[in-house]
Chain A
Amino acid sequence: MPTVSFTQVLARFLEAPSAEVGGGTVGEALAAVFTSRPALRGYVLDDQGALRQHVAVYVNGRLVSDRVRLSDPVGASDEIYVFQALSGG
C-alpha cells in the first residue's frame, strides 16, 4: 500500500503521522488519510478539493502534475510526500 508522509511543520497545528493507506491515485490515498484524520484535509486541500496553492505533493520524489483532481496514479510501494511549497523568500 502507498505511504503518505507529511511535512513536520504541520505538527505545530495538529498530528500528521505517516500512514500506509489504500488507493490507486494521489487523491484516493489522501482521502484515505483524511477519513481517519478529517481536520488534516483543510490544511492540504482547498474548499473545492484541489491542492492548496502553496502545498506541494511528491510521489517518489516527483511533483504531481494534476493539482486539481489529484489523478496522478500511485502504486503499492510508492511514497507520497506532502510539503509546504517554498513559494517565497
Chain B
Amino acid sequence: MAGRLHVATRKGLFELARGGHGWEVADAQFLGDPVSAVLADAEGALYAALDLGHFGAKLWRREADGAWRELAAPAFPPKPADDGADPHPWSLGKIWVLEPGGVPGCLWAGTMPGGLFRSDDGGQSWSLNEALWHMPERRKWAGVAGGEQPGIGSVLVDPRDPSDIRIGVSTAGVWASTDEGRSWRNINRGMYAEYMPPELREEPIAQDVHRLARCAAHPEIVWCQHHNGVFRSEDSGATWHELTTIRPSKFGFAVAAHPRDAETAWFVPAVKDERRVPVDGKVVVARTRDGGRSFEVLRNGLPQHHAYDLVWRHALAVDDSGERLAMGSTSGGLWISEDGGDSWMMPEMRLPPIAAVRFAPV
C-alpha cells in the first residue's frame, strides 16, 4: 500500500508520509504558490505544475536525490497571422493534469486552453499535439464552467498499449486516439447534457466530462463523473450508460476507479451546479462494488454537520492496492481511508484549498 501522498494546494505542495502515528506532513514546497497538478512517476521523480497568478504556468521536477529544478513548461507554437478566428488563446493557461505515458520518459500534460502536450524526456521539453489542436472541431470546444477556456482534465493511457489514449474535456466529451495521438475522434455516445437546447442534448461534443477514471487491470472499463450524472463504459469510452442509483446526488467532479476490480469505483456527490456544496452539509463518498447497479454512501469519519467542502476533479485518489484513498476539499479538508472508504481519518493539519491529491507509486 502507498505510504506517501502528494497534496497540491492553492498555497503549495505538501507531501504526507504514513508513520507509526498516522499520516503527517513530511515536506512542504512552493509555499504560497498555487499548485495545479502533481505526478509521482514510477522512476522516482516528482512533478509539480504551478499556476502563478502573475507569471504563468510553470513546471518543476524533484529528482530522486531530492533536488528541485524548473523544467521548460509546455508552450504553444506561434499563432499564424491569418488564424484570427480561433476563439481560444494560443498560450498556456494552466497545466491541469499530468499523466505517465506508459514508456520511460514519456509524459502527457492536459491543459487549459485545451492543448495536449507530450514529453519524451521526462518533462524537459514538450511538444503540442498538433493533430488535436488543429482539428476544426477543437474550436467548438466550450469553456470550463466559470471560465472561458476549455480544459483537458483527464488523460487515460491504456496500460497494455501506450498508443491507445483517451482524453476527457470540459467541455467537449471524450476523444480517442489509437495511433499515439496522430489522429483523434470524438467517441462518446450515451451521455446527455441538460444545459443544452433539446436538439443538442446528446451531441457528443457538448458533454461536460468532469473526470474519467479507468480500471488499470481492465482498461476497457471507464467511469465518468459528468456534469449531469455518473456514467460507466465497458468499451474504453465509446458507449456509456448512466448509473442512476447513485446517492445522495448525481452531480460531482471526482471519480476514482479500483485498480483491479472492474466493478468498484468511488464518487463524491454534491448539490448540482447552481450551488456546488455537499448535500445537507454532509461530506460523503458514494461507492459501488457491483458495476454501478447500486451504491453505498460512506460517511464514517467524514464531517456531517455544516460541512461545505467541495472535492474537485483531481482531488480524489486511490492507491495501487485499492485500499487506500485520499480526498481533499476546497476548504482544505483532507481525509484518508485505509479500508477502501469504509472509514476515513483526517490528519491533524489545516491545509489550503486542495486542487489535487496523488499517491506515490510503491
Contact = CB atoms under 8 A, between A and B. Distances in A.
Interface stretch (B19-27, B72-80, B283-291, B322-330): B72-80
A51 B73 CA distance: 17
Contacts of B78: 48-49
A82 B78 CA distance: 23
A85 B55 CA distance: 10
Interface string A9-27: 1100110000000000000
A47 B91 contact: yes
B55 A10 contact: yes
A54 interface: yes
A47 B55 contact: no
A55 B56 CA distance: 10
**Main DSSP-derived SS at the A contact region:** loop
A52 to B, nearest CB: 6
Interface in B75-89: 75-79, 89
Nearest to B77: A47
B53 interface: yes
B70 A13 contact: yes
Contact of A48 (B55, B72, B90): B90
A34 interface: no
Q: Identify whether the interface residues of B are mostly helix, strand, loop, or mixed.
A: loop
A42 interface: yes
B54 interface: yes
B79 A48 contact: yes
B61 to A, nearest CB: 14
Given A47-B90, A47-B92, A42 B75 contact: yes
Interface in B37-72: 52-56, 58, 70, 72
Interface residues of B, number: 18
Contacts of A39: 70
A46 interface: yes
Contact of B54 (A42, A48, A55): A55
B53 to A, nearest CB: 6
Contacts of A88: 53
Interface in A33-50: 39, 42-44, 46-49
A42 B77 CA distance: 13
A55 B92 contact: no
A46 B91 CA distance: 6
A46 B76 CA distance: 9
B83 to A, nearest CB: 11
Interface in B286-341: none
B128 to A, nearest CB: 10
A85 B54 contact: yes
A5 interface: no
Contacts of B76: 47-48
- Which of A9, A42, A43, A85 is the most central at the interface, judged by chain B CB atoms within 10 Å of its CB? A42
A52 B56 contact: yes
Contacts of B75: 42, 47
Contact of B73 (A42, A55, A84): A42
Interface pairs A-B: 3 shortest CB-CB: A47-B91, A84-B54, A46-B91
10 contacts: A9-B54, A42-B56, A42-B72, A42-B75, A43-B52, A43-B55, A44-B55, A46-B91, A52-B54, A84-B54
Interface of A: 9-10, 13-14, 39, 42-44, 46-49, 52, 54-55, 84-85, 87-88
